[in-house]
Amino acid sequence: MSDTYVLVHGAWHTGAEMEATAGHLRAAGHAVHCPTLAGNRPGDDRSRTGLADAVASLVEFVEAHDLHEVRLVGHSYGGMVISGAAERIAPRLRRLVYVNAFVPLPGQCLNDLVPPHYVSLFDALAGAQDNAVMLPFEIWREAFINDADLDLARSSYARLNPHPYRTFTDAVDLPRPLADLPVAKSYLNCRQDTAMPHGLPWHPRLSERLGLFRLVECDGSHEMWFSQPRALADAILQAGRD
């Protein structure tokens, strides 16, 4: 049976970085879409793009392609975006899948969910880069893609793009907590992900905000999209199945 997946990228990415994993999902017989959100497209004004713009771009993509029974998969920052979009496209959704992704409460922004040292770093980077942020390679390599060798880490980092900082500081528009949304939910936790310190973990700190949810875990870093796309696809299928 063919299911429909929409893979929503995290910060610094575009839909192109989801394609390796998407290819394995398509090989398993599924329809897969990898949109690029507003703010991460070539020519986007990263100094002004906010979270509402990114959410609207996802809603517009799903509606323009007239997608139904969607398994909506959000990675990292993409969790903020799928959370903001979920109520607006709820009749089109089959399941929300969070891949080491942020799960906000109403009125929260991404910066509310990260350690203070990240906020200080982001503030400094945005101040020097016209309100865009780009992680230094050393931080990204150790905390985000620690399961890759140095060559793969460098080539993957070269594919990233500056990210609009307003999407981190804007509060998400949620009419109600996600736990109250009558859509099936899953959380996929990559065990070696240290993008969030294990003292302030993705799971269960953020996953439990989904209320009733399916937990799937696998070995890998925050950036399995680059380092282990087949294993990530297998885990997404476990998280997305009925």
- In the chain, where the domains are located: 4-240
The pLDDT value given to residue 1? 80
> Does residue 177 have a pLDDT over 90?
yes
What is the CATH code of the structural domain delimited by 4-240? 3.40.50.1820
The pLDDT value given to residue 186? 99
The pLDDT value given to residue 216? 99
Q: Give dist(CA 199, CA 14) in Å, integer.
A: 29
Q: What does DSSP assign to residue 55?
A: H
The pLDDT value given to residue 183? 98
The pLDDT value given to residue 197? 94
Instruction: Tell me whether residue 210 is exposed, middle or buried, using C-beta atoms within 10 angstroms of its C-beta: 0 to 12, 13 to 18, 19 or more.
Output: buried
The pLDDT value given to residue 179? 98
The pLDDT value given to residue 202? 98
Encoded amino acid at 127, one letter:
G
> Does residue 30 have a pLDDT over 90?
yes
The pLDDT value given to residue 6? 99
The pLDDT value given to residue 129? 95
The pLDDT value given to residue 91? 98
Q: Each residue of 42-78: b (16+ CB within 10 Å) or e?
A: eebebeebbbbbbbbbbbebbeeeebeebbbbbbbbb
Cα distances (Å, whole numbers) of residue 199 to 82, 116, 164, 219: 25, 13, 27, 18
Encoded amino acid at 78, one letter:
G
pLDDT band at 150; cut points 50, 70, 90 = very high
The pLDDT value given to residue 68? 98
The predicted model scores a pTM of 0.98
Mean pLDDT along residues 221-237: 98
